[in-house]
Homo-oligomer: A and B are copies of this chain.
Amino acid sequence: MDKTDAKIPTRVLPGFMELLPAEQIVLNSMFDTIRRIYEQYGFVPIDTPVIERAEVLFAKVGGETAKQVYRFTKGDNDLALRFDLTVPLARYVAEHAVELTFPFRRYHLGKVYRGESPQKGRYREFYQCDIDIIGNGSLSLMNDAEIPRVIYDVFTALNIGPFVVRLSNRKLITGLMESLGISELAVEAMRVIDKFEKVGETDTRQMLVELGIVDALIAEVFGFLAINGQTQEVIGKLKALSVDNQVFQLGIAELEEVIKLLASLGMPEDSYGIDLTIARGLDYYTGTVYETVLKDNPKIGSICSGGRFDNLAEKYTVRKLPGVGISIGLTRLFSQLKDAGLLKIGASTPTKVLIASLLRDPSVSLEIATMLRTAGIPVEIYFEEAKVKTKLVYANRLGIPFVIFVGEDEIRSGLFTVKNMGTGEQVAIAKAELSSYIGKEVHY
Contacts and interface: CB of A to CB of B under 8 A. Distances in A.
Given A9-B53, A42-B351, A95-B11, A366 B77 contact: no
B50 A366 contact: no
A41 B380 contact: yes
Interface stretch (A18-26, A230-238, A246-254): A18-26
A378 B41 contact: yes
A398 B397 CA distance: 47
A362 B101 CA distance: 22
Contacts of A99: 20
A140 interface: yes
A70 B373 CA distance: 40
Contacts of A115: 74-75
Contacts of A79: 13, 70
Interface string A242-284: 0000000000000000000100111000000000000000000
A45 B21 contact: yes
Contacts of A92: 10, 18
A250 B59 CA distance: 61
A376 interface: yes
Contacts of A70: 51, 72, 74, 79
A103 interface: yes
B91 A51 contact: no
A329 to B, nearest CB: 16
Nearest to A376: B40
B140 A18 contact: no
Interface stretch (A175-183, A199-207, A290-298, A314-322): A314-322
A216 interface: no
Interface string A6-38: 011111110011111100110110000000000
Interface residues of A, number: 100
A383 interface: yes
Interface in A66-100: 70-72, 74-75, 77, 79, 91-92, 94-96, 99-100
A367 interface: yes
A13 B384 contact: no
A3 interface: yes
A40 B363 contact: no
Contact of A318 (B3, B12, B124, B142): B3
A267 to B, nearest CB: 10
Interface in A40-64: 40-53, 55-56, 59
6 contacts: A8-B315, A40-B379, A51-B125, A101-B397, A264-B362, A266-B367
> Which 10 A/B pairs are nearest by Cβ-Cβ distance?
A42-B380, A72-B72, A42-B351, A10-B95, A142-B383, A39-B350, A264-B363, A140-B383, A16-B49, A21-B44
